[in-house]
Structure 1
């Protein structure tokens, strides 16, 4: 009797079984909220990076168009410290949600490949969360994205077979960028959105945001990957570039600063698309 009573007590929280449908529903709701918070945090950072990139295109060479520069902008605002920690929470939520997809599987996509991709994204957002937390606490985050990319490349090139390793990494990064752009142009992101709850006009706007934003984001990934590949071929880590230097490289094309403006606007639109994902993503 006592054993049975103890077991019943352990299997319940607040009068509700931890394995009950209601409890599982609460857990899923919490994970959905975490995912939405993560998309908002991502959107804020991309909008700020896009704005900084436009400033660079217009002649402000002191701007830093990457995550570090975005954090500088946030910190400079009233209640900047609070806002930074809210971003930390947002990215932690994104990492948690991505990790849950790796364990439980994404809606309609239970295959191993999808789970592995979710796990990789969880690790990425966990690293972003750590970097933002280090910046917010003042214990790190002084190194620019460009310096970090070059340091990583230099360390990798020193490894046995490092030149091949860096070359493969560059190709994979470029391939991911192309994949992101192609996926955006083919409107694949709409499958992950609850378009049934959108009006026709809203769907058109969100589709435009996803296409333009995804294409710009993919272009940056692809360009950064190509710079890593060049670093491998030339055995020169200084050829590798972070987001800031990659964006600046667009000004050196025949289109000049205007290409950077186009890409920067695309990043801002991707940030707005992230806000739309927070609202309509199937979580």
Structure 2
């Protein structure tokens, strides 16, 4: 067999794989089952928000994603629900990856993707947003998977160990501070998106006025609650880096509890907890009304 024949076979196999990936990205069935990821993420945020409210009122609990999943596991049929949520988030992450590289968010379509042009910048923003969503859903899926495989872990301790390890690397504290700034910027982005209603462009608004009003209200308040949580997390990362004490960063739980200890912190934490609950409701509604195109 000649070298050219082997090359042609490899090219044919690559083209077939590419066609299959594009077909998967355009598959309506894939899209429909992936929508379960919205519901799974919504459940996590509802439990997380309820726990934040409880902690704000002085009760115990771990106000982070792993704590929310552990509470799910403690309920009747909780492990079944966790497995279903794991599948949903995993499929959503996979759908985002396919969409980013082969679907509507891909840079491969017609038109320019040069950053110096407006259309090109829009395409890059959409691509990066889709990749970011894939990472976010993969992270939630990993939290569910840890519960299924090993019964979960102390995320606060894990966050502290990770930040300490990073801080020991050359320039680690600067990298840690930069990560905190990025998280703060994402939090600000969530707050701005909530106020400007930019997320409405991604939805098919329901015709029934009560449902439409509920979707808009939960979206606005939910985005603000999610944004405030990320702001608190990012601020804690920056402070831990600036003080040279990365062990102080203990994830969402530590950030929310640090918020509670500030003046008017209890009221603020109750508001953020309620916002996270409503963000979870919004995500559950989004499973039905997101365009996903």
Q: Which shows bigger deviation, 250-259 or 24-33?
A: 24-33
Deviation string for 1:228-272 (max 9, x for gaps)? 111111111123231112112222122142221111110000000
TM-score (structure 1 length as normaliser): 0.85
Displacement of 1:140 after TM fit? Answer: 5.5
Displacement of 1:88 after TM fit? Answer: 0.8
- Cα distance in 2 for partners of 1:161, 1:57 equals 36
Displacement of 1:124 after TM fit? Answer: 3.1
- Cα distance in 2 for partners of 1:95, 1:245 equals 27
Structure 1 residue 230 corresponds to structure 2 residue 276: no
1:145 pairs with one of 147, 155, 168? 155
Displacement of 1:118 after TM fit? Answer: 1.5
Secondary structure of the equivalent of 2:27? Answer: helix
- Cα distance in 1 for partners of 2:147, 2:167 equals 28
Q: What residue ranges of structure 2 are gaps of 5+ in the alignment?
A: 1-18, 110-118
Structure 1 residue 262 corresponds to structure 2 residue 271: yes
Q: Which residue of 2 aligns with 1:12?
A: none
Q: Which residue of 2 aligns with 1:118?
A: 130
- Cα distance in 1 for partners of 2:144, 2:257 equals 23
Structure 1 residue 209 corresponds to structure 2 residue 218: yes
- Cα distance in 1 for partners of 2:136, 2:211 equals 31
Q: How many residues align structurally?
A: 260
Output the aligned Cα RMSD: 2.4
TM-score (structure 2 length as normaliser): 0.82
Contact 1:35 1:94 in 2 (8 A): yes
- Over 3 Å counting, the alpha-carbon distance change for 1:127 and 1:205 in structure 2 is closer
1:87 pairs with one of 85, 88, 110? 85
Structure 1 residue 248 corresponds to structure 2 residue 246: no
- Cα distance in 2 for partners of 1:88, 1:248 equals 28
Structure 1 residue 98 corresponds to structure 2 residue 96: yes
Q: Which shows bigger deviation, 243-252 or 204-213?
A: 243-252
Matches for 1:166-245 after TM superposition, within 5 Å: 166-195=176-205, 197-245=206-254
Q: Which shows bigger deviation, 104-113 or 268-277?
A: 104-113
- Cα distance in 1 for partners of 2:286, 2:139 equals 22
- Over 3 Å counting, the alpha-carbon distance change for 1:211 and 1:164 in structure 2 is same
- Cα distance in 2 for partners of 1:199, 1:101 equals 30
Q: Which residue of 2 aligns with 1:60?
A: 59
Q: Which residue of 2 aligns with 1:33?
A: 32
Q: Which residue of 1 aligns with 2:112?
A: none
- Cα distance in 2 for partners of 1:177, 1:256 equals 18
Q: Which shows bigger deviation, 164-173 or 109-118?
A: 109-118
Contact 2:160 2:250 in 1 (8 A): yes
Contact 2:218 2:279 in 1 (8 A): yes
- Cα distance in 2 for partners of 1:177, 1:34 equals 29
- Cα distance in 1 for partners of 2:246, 2:138 equals 26
